[in-house]
Every structure is written in structure tokens, then in C-alpha cells.
């Protein structure tokens, strides 16, 4: 590894500088962020070596996690219910933006607050339209934060059971 190059690049990635020389390190995330590759030799006639610098948080880094309570909602057609989304931070100060995924047509989720959350919780109101087919749906509450230019995504499951409304 060219130490002069590494010293110049280190201030650009204070979050994590993952260095792999010739082989992929088990600490690298499954979808690494931007990287710089270099081919170098330590001196005249020296054996050359390829190095890759990847700038991304390690996959095992917990920065924050999400949970919902209650994690299962039973809502009648045409009604709404609330749940609390908790953001557990491991010293991670960045704002988190929440969204709801895998919702069937007619089911909406509104977070309060939804964006730039620097605290530890948000209230999610789930509304079920009157035309939603009764059944069980596995929804995903997603959080996205940014660490420099890298998204830090987390998610947790929310089970929604839709039952017939009053006829």
C-alpha cells in the first residue's frame, strides 16, 4: 500500500478507511462505496502490488437501528392506527428520514416527524382505505441517514392485519 497516498486520502474518509490489498476483506460491505485502485511498487525492480481503498462504513457497524411498538397492527377498512418508531442510536448524530415500504394500494403511512429526525422516535399513522382487501401484509419501515456521501439504511418489519370494516 502506498502510505503517502493513504495519508492524503485519510482525511477524506474519517468514518472508515477500509484497505484491501489483493483480496477482498471480510469487513467490506456487500455493496462498497466509492473506491480508488492503485498499482504500485516499493522501489526499482520491486514486486508490484495492486491496492484498493474503499470508503464506506463496515457492514457490521451498528450506527443506529429501528424498531416499532407495537410491531403488529390490526386495522379495519377505512380506519387508521398509530405505532411508535424508535431510533436507537449508537453515538450516531446524523438525521434519519423514515419511509414506509411494501404497502398495498390504499394503505398509507405518515410519519411525524418524517425527515431530519435527530431525536429517538417518530409516530407512524397507518391509514387503511375502505377498498383494501382484508388480509395480512408485511410492511417495511425504512430509515435513511447520510454519513458523508454514503447512505446508511436500516429497516424493521411492521405486520398489518386488515379486517372488514363495519357494514
> What is the residue extent of each domain of the chain?
3-55, 64-163
Residue 147 — very low, low, confident or very high, per pLDDT cuts 50/70/90?
Answer: confident
> In this predicted model, what pLDDT tens digit does every residue of 79-93 receive, in sequence order?
999 999 999 998 888
Enumerate the β-bridge partners of residue 155. 142
Enumerate the β-bridge partners of residue 34. none
CA distance 48 to 153: 38
CA distance 99 to 110: 8
Which of residues 145 and 20 earns the better pLDDT score?
A: 145
Q: What is the pLDDT of residue 75?
A: 98
Which of residues 20 and 105 earns the better pLDDT score?
A: 105
- DSSP output for 31-62: S---EEEEEEESSTTPPEEEEEEEES--TT--
Average pLDDT over residues 59-68: 81
Q: What is the pLDDT of residue 148?
A: 86
Q: What is the pLDDT of residue 40?
A: 54
CATH architecture designation of domain 64-163: Sandwich (2.60)
> In this predicted model, what pLDDT tens digit does every residue of 154-166 receive, in sequence order?
999 999 999 998 7
Alpha-carbon distance values, 127 to 79, 112, 120, 135, 167 (Å): 6, 14, 23, 15, 18
Which of residues 106 and 16 earns the better pLDDT score?
A: 106
pLDDT(134) > 80: yes
Residue found under cell 357494514: 167
Largest CA distance in the chain: 86
H or E element: which one contains 87?
Answer: strand 80-89
pLDDT(125) > 80: yes
Average pLDDT over residues 46-63: 60
pTM of structure: 0.66
Burial class (CB in 10 A: 0-12, 13-18, 19+), 155: middle
Cα–Cα nearest to 35, from 145, 154, 150: 150
Alpha-carbon distance values, 30 to 13, 59, 60, 68, 114 (Å): 18, 7, 11, 26, 28
Which of residues 116 and 138 earns the better pLDDT score?
A: 138
Average pLDDT over residues 103-117: 95
Amino acid at each position: 500500500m502506498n502510505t503517502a497516498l493513504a495519508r492524503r486520502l485519510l482525511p477524506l474518509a474519517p468514518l472508515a478507511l477500509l484497505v484491501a490489498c489483493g483480496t477482498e476483506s471480510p469487513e467490506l460491505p456487500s455493496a462498497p462505496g466509492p473506491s480508488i485502485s492503485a498499482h504500485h511498487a516499493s522501489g526499482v525492480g520491486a514486486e508490484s502490488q495492486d491496492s484498493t481503498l474503499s470508503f464506506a462504513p463496515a457492514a457490521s457497524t451498528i450506527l443506529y437501528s429501528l424498531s416499532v411498538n407495537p410491531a403488529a397492527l390490526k386495522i379495519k377498512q377505512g380506519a387508521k392506527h398509530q405505532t411508535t418508531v424508535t431510533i436507537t442510536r449508537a453515538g450516531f448524530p446524523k438525521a434519519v428520514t423514515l419511509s414506509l415500504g411494501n404497502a398495498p394500494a390504499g394503505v398509507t403511512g405518515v410519519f411525524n416527524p418524517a425527515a431530519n429526525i435527530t431525536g429517538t422516535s417518530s409516530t407512524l399513522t397507518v391509514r387503511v382505505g375502505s377498498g383494501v382487501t382484508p388480509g395480512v401484509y408485511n410492511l417495511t419501515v425504512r430509515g435513511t441517514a447520510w454519513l458523508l456521501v454514503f447512505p446508511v439504511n436500516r429497516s424493521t418489519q411492521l405486520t398489518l392485519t386488515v379486517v372488514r370494516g363495519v357494514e
